[in-house]
């Protein structure tokens, strides 16, 4: 015995009929008017590429950081900035470092404290010298004197510092960007000598024996933290004893 489901003839009619079922027509605008949505002047899209520069311009023109850091009623808060090398464009490590520090500073500002954040740059060292050497031809490197290398490294470091500074401000990081500290500034070097002298007078500086690692390719001494060996490496180091 064959049994038919109720309404099966109706379904078959719609399947066989060349005409589609009638569509439900909604008047334009009638549905959205029945939904109760909050009224706001905020844009639906963040549009960060346009809005972020506008916000940062507002901060700079109204000196938001300067006013808060000077006139907040709370105690001073100083975040000491470990300086990055001024030797190239910023990367994700710079972004993470400065963003985390900015979160701490702005949190302290919201608590009412006078935040003092002076950014700095390390303008000495092998990374900067290598960048200068990489941009020179072999003939130029052969004629290069130590004094000329230092001069070119200084020019390079200052250029990179200015570019990095502009990028950090574009991140939205607040700080005293107009008065950073640079390790190549004479006053900074003088302060280092002064601190070193105090350490000598207090007996913190002594002379001892320690192996110094040398890089033939870079022609410079290496710190222990700069030595990296692949897994399974067999050292071919040579230790030589000298009469003292």
What is the DSSP annotation of 32-82?
Answer: GGGS-----SS-SS--HHHHHHHHHHHHHHHTHHHHHHHH-SS-EEE-PPP
State the burial class of residue 115 (Cβ atoms within 10 Å of its Cβ: 0-12, 13-18, 19+).
buried
Tally the C-alpha atoms within 13 A of residue 161's C-alpha that lie toward its C-beta.
24
Handedness of CA 219, 222, 227, 233 (dihedral sign): positive
Average confidence (pLDDT) over 146-156: 92
118 vs 40: which has the higher pLDDT? 118
210 vs 200: which has the higher pLDDT? 200
- Answer whether residue 7 shows pLDDT above 70: no
β partners of residue 114: 76
What pTM was estimated for this model as a whole?
0.70
Asked if 123 and 87 count as a contact pair (C-beta separation under 8 A), the reply is: no
β partners of residue 76: 114
State the burial class of residue 94 (Cβ atoms within 10 Å of its Cβ: 0-12, 13-18, 19+).
middle
Handedness of CA 115, 91, 88, 162 (dihedral sign): negative
- Answer whether residue 99 shows pLDDT above 70: yes
Mean pLDDT of the chain: 86
Lowest mean pLDDT among 18-22, 65-69, 98-102, 151-155: 18-22
Question: What phi and psi values does residue 75 have, to the nearest 5 degrees?
Answer: -70, 155
């Amino acid at each position: 015995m064959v049994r038919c489901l109720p309404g099966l003839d109706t379904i078959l009619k719609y399947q066989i009929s060349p005409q589609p079922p009638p569509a439900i027509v909604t008047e334009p605008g009638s549905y959205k008017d029945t939904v109760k949505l909050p009224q706001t002047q905020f844009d639906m899209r963040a549009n960060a590429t346009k809005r972020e520069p506008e916000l940062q311009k507002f901060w700079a023109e109204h000196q938001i950081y300067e006013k808060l850091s000077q006139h907040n009623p709370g105690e001073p808060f100083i975040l000491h900035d470990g300086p990055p090398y001024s030797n190239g464009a910023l990367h994700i490590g710079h972004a993470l470092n400065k963003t985390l520090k900015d979160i701490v500073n702005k949190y302290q500002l919201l608590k009412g404290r006078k935040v003092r954040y002076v950014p700095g740059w390390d303008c000495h060292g092998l990374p900067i010298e290598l960048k200068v050497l990489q941009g020179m031809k072999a003939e130029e490197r052969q004629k290069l004197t130590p004094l000329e290398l230092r001069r070119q490294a200084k020019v390079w470091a200052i250029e990179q510092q200015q570019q990095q500074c502009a990028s950090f401000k574009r991140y939205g990081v607040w700080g005293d960007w107009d008065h950073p500290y640079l390790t190549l500034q004479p006053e900074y070097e003088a302060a280092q000598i002064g601190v070193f002298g105090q350490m000598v007078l207090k007996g913190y500086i002594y002379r001892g024996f320690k192996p110094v690692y040398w890089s033939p390719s870079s022609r410079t001494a290496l710190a222990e933290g700069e030595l990296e060996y692949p897994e399974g490496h067999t050292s071919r180091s040579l230790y030589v004893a000298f009469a003292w």
